[in-house]
Amino acid sequence: MIRTVKRAFKYRFYPSLGQATELARTFGCVRLVYNMALQARTEAWTLRQERVSYNATSAMLTVWKKTEELAFLNEVSSVPLQQALRHLQVAYTNFFAKRAKYPTFKSKKRSRRSAEYTTSAFRWRDGRLTLAKMAEPLDIVWSRPLPEGASPSTVTVSQDAAGRWFVSLLCDDVIEQVPASSSVGIDAGLDSLLVLSTGEKIANPKHERRDRAALARAQRNLARKEQGSANRAKARREVARVHARITDRRRDHLHKLTTRLVRENQTIVIEDLTVRNMVKNHRLARAISDAAWRQFRALLEYKAEWHGRNLVVVDRWFPSSKLCSVCGAHAERMPLHVRSWTCRCGRIHDRDVNAARNILAEGLSVIACGGGVRPQRTGVRTGRSSVKQETQ
């Protein structure tokens, strides 16, 4: 079966001095327009109980450009400014649908520096990308090819805290959904990043721990610099580079891991872990954050959707570690330090492998019977996500 999906391909590029200046100006204008529109919408509701639509903020932008104080908005492409207003509208839509908190103002120092261009604001010709207000194409490092015959519908340019420039091209991609016959249950952990129901244990690379000493040195160096000095800005970029190195390695590992799991298995069963609550344990918060269970699930969800796989998410209260995967007996207590145990049926269990097998059995029961087949196995649901971007 063939399926066409929207897929973003992210590449690093190296702008010239003029391009960097133009993009920096665009980032600033995008942030300003977003904040002004947010303020206008907030004040309209607070003072007059009036809802302001996207069309109204677009009309405001036209008026702002005609004022002497904001005439500089005409110096950059109008498309990223309009896209900023659309992003604000999406933020409000998510807020009213109770999917997100109320939109906040973008900070010059902390917010992501990015600008989005649609087809009217860039030229794509012979594999070369030229943005509006620029004479020369971007110097992109093509680390992987775009799909054959693909033409970008949206281009997003961004700069991270480490000073690196990236361009993301949204294209149509064709994915061949090849059926697989196997199923797998997955138990997430810290000693082993993942334990599969097949008995395989995938080691935890502990990316943050590998660079912890370098990160501490960079942060100490930053703390010694004077506020507002050029040396402090250099030290801040060094800290950001260490964080970026950790993040890149973690993302690369999770992409390879989730791609392999999706290609090999038709049915994948995972636990519904509440990472937000788990990181409140200050002893384990750093290790849990480094394991990136939430990112692993997000990648797994959209790749399973792309490839036509069944992804089942088992309820967080399902006692996967306390059940015997052979006879179904329920152990009363199972402290974390117990890594293996013997059931009364005589079977010796590895704690994590047994949990993964129980998770798989529960997931298969959801597919076959709709879940809830035993009193202790309630509240099971399936999980889906609409995440569409894969980066390299």
CB-CB contact of 160 with 166 (8 Å): yes
Question: What Å distances lie between residue 379 and 220, 268, 329, 366, CA to CA?
Answer: 47, 18, 20, 10
State yes or no: is 187 an active-site residue: yes
CB-CB contact of 193 with 291 (8 Å): yes
State yes or no: is 315 an active-site residue: no
- Residue-wise burial string across 267-293, b where 16 or more C-beta atoms lie within 10 A, e elsewhere: bbbbbebebeeeeeeeeeeebbebbbb
Phi and psi for 191 in degrees, rounded to 5? -65, -50
Please provide the DSSP assignment of 32-87 as one string. Answer: HHHHHHHHHHHHHHHHH-----HHHHHHHHHHHHTSSTTGGGGGS-HHHHHHHHHH
CA terminus-to-terminus distance, the chain = 26
Nearest partner of 275 among 257, 290, 258, 288, judged by Cα: 288
State yes or no: is 211 an active-site residue: no
- For residue 225, give the 3-state DSSP assignment: coil
Phi and psi for 36 in degrees, rounded to 5? -65, -40
φ/ψ region of 218 (left if φ > 0, alpha if ψ in -120 to 50, else beta) reads alpha
Among residues 22, 208, 301, 352, which one is catalytic?
A: 352
Residues 6+ apart with CB under 8 A from 387: 298, 299, 301, 302
Among residues 116, 187, 362, 390, which one is catalytic?
A: 187
Give the C-alpha separation, 205 to 291, whole Å: 8
User: Which residue has 């010796």 as its token pair?
Assistant: 348
Burial of 225 (0-12, 13-18, 19+ CB in 10 A): middle
Among residues 271, 301, 305, 390, which one is catalytic?
A: 271
Give the C-alpha separation, 358 to 374, whole Å: 13
The residues annotated as belonging to the active site are 187, 271, 352
